[in-house]
Amino acid sequence: MLGEKFDCEYMNIMDKRAVDILDRTSPCWGVCDFKDVSGRLLSCRAVGRLPENAVSVIVTLFPYYLGEERYEGANISRYAVVPDYHVAMKQRLESAARELRKIYPNEQFEAFCGSSPVSEVFAAELAGLGARGKNGLLITGKYGSWVFIGEIVTTMELPKTDLDVKPCLGCGLCVRACPTGALSENCFDKEKCLSHIGQQKGDIPKEYTAVMRSIGSAWGCDECQKVCPRNQNAAVTEIGEFVKNVRVKASVNDDLADRAYSWRGHDVIERNLKFLESEKEK
């Protein structure tokens, strides 16, 4: 949803049905100009679906925070605790795009999530939905950094939103909390990020498996987010699909059908689980 100022403005520009569609799709959305992100498009197969005459990007947020008590005993990253977010986001965004096409048959609307050609954090910043933290994640006022980002790119001209955004505090807590030194004051080294390393096939250097054991995670890493002051009072998700079939622990021979890490198959997650088990055996 938008702030009061933009709610009124959009009601004057868009059919009320369209605003209602977007409000049902995402609890928080905004708009940026496509021309402002077009110079930073990512190379992926989905780039071919971008409307030829794209004008606006509707940026949507999908919060996934469940409350601290729900993560007790977790051995996977919080984003992976909820059912595969790609499924819920894709269904919601594609449904919204179809409904918008019916209201505006002369305009194009294309939905993107996950493998998107749009630089998502950058687009969300431009739409006034949040500010980038030192860890490269979007920090929002209501949900902290516990959000997924999706987009609907359209040929329809919509005014940019400029919501009330609080910047990163610059406290450096995330830098100091990073267990592998992937974060510094001015950059993020993806190759050192434990979340990235744990997704790779093959052997993992011992120093990284030791870190996995120390934080007790077989998939992903939330250390930089856990210490962020903007996350301390984050709102719990309103996304109904994210509160069903929650699974805080990964186990050997799990059915991965509806898990965010299913794309890597059993071998990688089971390898990581063995690193955690080997610590228990000591």
| Residue 2 confidence (pLDDT) | 60
Give the burial string for 188-205 (b: 16+ CB within 10 Å, else e): beeeebbbebbbeeeebe
Lowest mean pLDDT among 148-152, 208-212, 221-225: 208-212
Q: Are residues 37 and 145 in the same domain?
A: yes
Domain count, the chain: 2
Q: Is the pLDDT of residue 217 over 60?
A: yes
In a domain, 75, yes or no: no
N-to-C CA span, the chain: 51
Cα gap 150→120, rounded to integer Å:
7
The C-alpha angle 109, 114, 116, rounded to 5 degrees, equals 50
Q: Are residues 121 and 206 in the same domain?
A: no
In a domain, 237, yes or no: no
- In contact, 75 and 218? CB cutoff 8 Å: yes
Q: Give tens-digit pLDDT for 14-59.
A: 788 899 999 999 999 999 999 999 999 999 999 999 999 999 999 9
Give me 117's structure tokens: 């050609």
Q: Are residues 8 and 147 in the same domain?
A: yes
Q: Give tens-digit pLDDT for 227-250.
A: 999 999 999 999 999 999 999 999
In a domain, 53, yes or no: yes
**Structural domain span for residue 219:** 173-232+246-280
Q: Are residues 147 and 9 in the same domain?
A: yes
In a domain, 275, yes or no: yes
Q: Are residues 141 and 39 in the same domain?
A: yes
Q: What is the DSSP string of 79-140?
A: HHHSS-HHHHHHHHHHHHHHHHHHH-TTS-EEEEESS-SS-HHHHHHHTTS-EE-TTS-EEB
What's the Cα-to-Cα distance from 62 to each of 100, 156, 218, rounded to whole Å? 19, 23, 24
* Structural domain ending residue among the three candidates 127, 154, 181: 154
Q: Are residues 55 and 104 in the same domain?
A: yes
Q: Are residues 149 and 206 in the same domain?
A: no
The mean pLDDT value of the chain amounts to 92
Which value, in Å, is the radius of gyration of the alpha carbons in the chain?
Answer: 20
| Residue 281 confidence (pLDDT) | 44
Q: Are residues 182 and 148 in the same domain?
A: no
Cα gap 2→177, rounded to integer Å:
33
In a domain, 240, yes or no: no
Q: Are residues 196 and 64 in the same domain?
A: no
| Residue 59 confidence (pLDDT) | 97
Q: Are residues 137 and 30 in the same domain?
A: yes
Q: Give tens-digit pLDDT for 90-123.
A: 999 999 999 999 999 999 999 999 889 999 999 9
| Residue 3 confidence (pLDDT) | 52
Q: Are residues 211 and 141 in the same domain?
A: no
In a domain, 163, yes or no: no
| Residue 14 confidence (pLDDT) | 78
Q: Are residues 40 and 96 in the same domain?
A: yes
If DSSP codes are grouped into helix, strand and coil, which group holds residue 154? strand
